[in-house]
Amino acid sequence: MKISVIGTGYVGLVTGACLADFGMEVIGVDKDEAKIGALRAGRIPIYEPGLENLLKKNEQEGRLSFSTDIPAAIQGSTAVFIAVGTPPLPDGSTDLTFIRQVAGSIAENLNGYKVIVTKSTVPIGTGQLISSIVRAGAGRDGEFAVVSNPEFLREGSAIEDFLRPDRVVIGTGDPHALRIMLDIYSPLRNAGVPFVTTDVESAELIKYASNSFLATKISFINEMAELCEALGADVEVVAKGMGLDARIGNQFLHPGPGFGGSCFPKDTRAVASIARASGGRLRIVEAVLEVNDHTLRRMLSKLETAFGSLAGATAAVLGLSFKPETDDVRESPAVAIVRALVERGCRVRAYDPAAMEACRPLLPEVVFCVNPYEAATGADGLVIVTEWNQFRKLQFEALRDVMRRPLIVDLRNLYKPQEVADAGLRYVSVGRATVEPAAPDSAGDPLARRAVKEAP
Ligand code: UDX
């Protein structure tokens, strides 16, 4: 079957590569000539583990190609997957300009029955909008069906998520379109992946509801972390104790600087705005957003307290992407934290394994370093913001040797507090007591250590 995937951003590239790997004949289309030129030359615009190999393999085997010719791609395909950007507008609603443009192109090039699939996260009602644009543009004879097939890909494990998803959601009112979709996804059906088939609106809402619920778990544990600090409890143990209840589950209960990225902030704002536009309110989702903003501000006070004063200090920041295994810095808490540090007169030396190029234009005041130890040189504190695996085994002695003051502020709780204190560094983390290093003259003496409660 011939499929075109319109939009060669994150979702489009992963979808195109994986559908080609299922044996479909896929053409990836984008109006951005530079992007298509680069893809044709084998250059991948994003960092995603496994993507480059999958693209290469399927291109070499003749199942995947790239083009800027949107009309030809539409005319040549049975299914058109829409994976264009749906950026947020200032009021939290979604900008559907690109979706409208694609719907217009499909209308102009409707030369036979087509299944039009939305892969991008789109507000409830977008399926209807696409239908009406295509119907109006193509005239009464145009044959097509609209399908909502939301993606649940996580950056950094997108290929794995596509090929081994928890579920596939297909929303359509057209039985023929459903058969085509089930055929496209037959490798996953044969592998026993659960399928949820429903109407377009329910499918559209499943995506928003899922992301909002996951964001709720994060804001919830971040609030609990704040309470733990006030009460002297340990949020890691609290999260473990909660997560062992199968009804709660242990995932998405990691406290930190708040959620970021291209999905959670955008989708929670969008669904809150959709609810308001429909005359209702999503009080929980609105609170989740408020807690997320508060969490980031709380991290800044934590830094201020830990450093004593930020003005004139030097901070070594580890991790700039919004999460590990990606170079994506969209709505990254790390970028917000670095900006706030700089605003408060703090010098920032930063290291990230993948996101430094993306950050150079955004953070001109920052000194970008080649590894954590260079970043730590002369610093008054080391701040871990993104939990890249390579930050989980730092050489504390080497850090202490190069830092001006032996302080680690770990916003991802990567270490056992005592382990850091034993190595002679003060350790501030999230939802746990701050631990002071053993006094230099009594190193190794456990009685010399003391745990002090976080200042509120
Ligand atoms: C998310 C959804 O997981 C995915 O299903 C959807 O398709 C797109 O949005 P992604 O944005 O790639 O994926 O990242 P994810 O791993 O879910 O993390 C999102 C944010 O939440 C990150 O900033 C992360 O640091 C934060 N997070 C996640 C926490 O702070 N604590 C957690 O326990 C989990």
Cβ neighbors of 308 (< 8 A, separation 6 or more) are none
CA–centroid distance, 379 to ligand 1, in Å, is 30
Respond yes or no: is residue 369 known to be catalytic.
Answer: no
Which pLDDT belongs to residue 455? 37
Which residue type, as a one-letter code, is found at position 72?
A: A
Catalytic residue of the set 18, 228, 263, 359: 263
Dihedral sign for Cα atoms in the order 141, 144, 145, 150: negative
Contact (CB, 8 A) for 171 and 147: yes
Nearest CA to ligand 1 atom 34: 252
**Pocket test residue of 167, 216, 323 for ligand 1, highest count of atoms within 8 A of CB:** 323
Nearest to 11 by CA among 104, 102, 85: 85
Exposed e or buried b for every residue in 399-433, given b needs 16+ CB within 10 A?
A: bbebbebbbbbbbbbbbebeebbbbbbbbbbbbbb
* Ligand 1 midpoint to CA 318 (Å): 19
Residue closest to 355 by CA, chosen among 391, 319, 397, 385: 319
Domain parsing of the chain, residue ranges: 2-198, 200-456
CA of 259 to the centre of ligand 1 (A): 7
Atom of ligand 1 nearest to the CA of 161: 5
The preferred substitution site among 204, 214, 224 for testing ligand 1, maximizing ligand atoms within 8 Å of CB, is: 214
Q: Which atom of ligand 1 is nearest to the CA of 387?
A: 25
**What's residue 140's pLDDT?**
64
In the chain, the amino acid numbered 115 is V
List beta partners, residue 178.
Answer: none
Domain 200-456 CATH superfamily: NAD(P)-binding Rossmann-like Domain (3.40.50.720)
DSSP 315: E
266 alpha carbon – ligand 1 mean position (Å): 12
Using CB atoms within 10 Å of the CB of residue 61, give its burial: 0 to 12 exposed, 13 to 18 middle, 19+ buried.
exposed
Element (H, E) at 146: strand 144-148
| Fold adopted by 2-198 | Rossmann fold (3.40.50)
Q: Give the β-pairing of 381-384 and 451-452.
A: unpaired
Residue 452's pLDDT is 41
Q: How far does CA 331 lie from the centroid of its chain?
A: 9
Query: Which protein residue's CA is at the shortest distance from atom 17 of ligand 1?
Result: 154
Q: How far is the CA of 25 from the centre of ligand 1 (A)?
A: 31
Please report the atom of ligand 1 found closest to the CA of residue 154. Answer: 12
Determine the pLDDT at residue 259. Answer: 98
Block means of pLDDT (10 residues each) for the chain, 456 residues, are 96 97 97 95 89 96 97 97 93 92 96 95 94 89 91 93 97 98 98 98 96 98 98 98 98 98 94 95 98 98 98 98 94 98 98 97 98 98 98 98 98 98 98 89 41 39
Do 200-456 and 2-198 fall under one CATH topology? yes
Measured from CB, residues less than 6 Å from any atom of ligand 1 are 151-155, 211, 214, 218, 252-254, 256, 259-261, 263-264, 322-323
Q: Which residue's CA lies nearest to atom 5 of ligand 1?
A: 152
For the record, the structure tokens of 346 come out as: 């703090």
Residue 297: phi, psi to the nearest 5? -65, -35
Please give the full DSSP string across 74-137, using - where no structure is assigned: HHT-SEEEE----PBPTTS-B--HHHHHHHHHHHHT--S-EEEEE-S---TTHHHHHHHHHHHH
Whose CA is closest to atom 31 on ligand 1?
A: 254
Q: Minimal CA–CA distance to 300: which of 430, 403, 434, 436?
A: 430
Residue type, 432: R
**Which residue, by CA, sits nearest to atom 27 of ligand 1?**
259
**Interval between CA 264 and ligand 1 midpoint (Å):** 7
Closest atom of ligand 1 relative to the 322 alpha carbon: 23
Dist. CA 36 → ligand 1 center (Å): 28
In this structure, the residue with its CA closest to atom 33 of ligand 1 is 252
For the CA of 333, the closest atom of ligand 1 is 23
Q: What is the rounded distance in angstroms from the CA atom of residue 9 to the CA atom of residue 4?
A: 14
Per the rule left: phi > 0, alpha: psi between -120 and 50, beta: everything else, 50 is left
Nearest atom in ligand 1 to the alpha carbon of residue 156 is 12
Measured between alpha carbons, how far is 12 from 18 in angstroms, rounded to an integer?
A: 10
Going by C-alpha positions, the residue among 316, 322, 321, 198 that lies closest to residue 259 is 322
Go through 187-226 and write b for each residue having 16 or more CB atoms within 10 A of its CB, e for each that does not. Answer: ebeeeeeeeeebebbebbbbbbebbbebbbbbbbbbbbbb
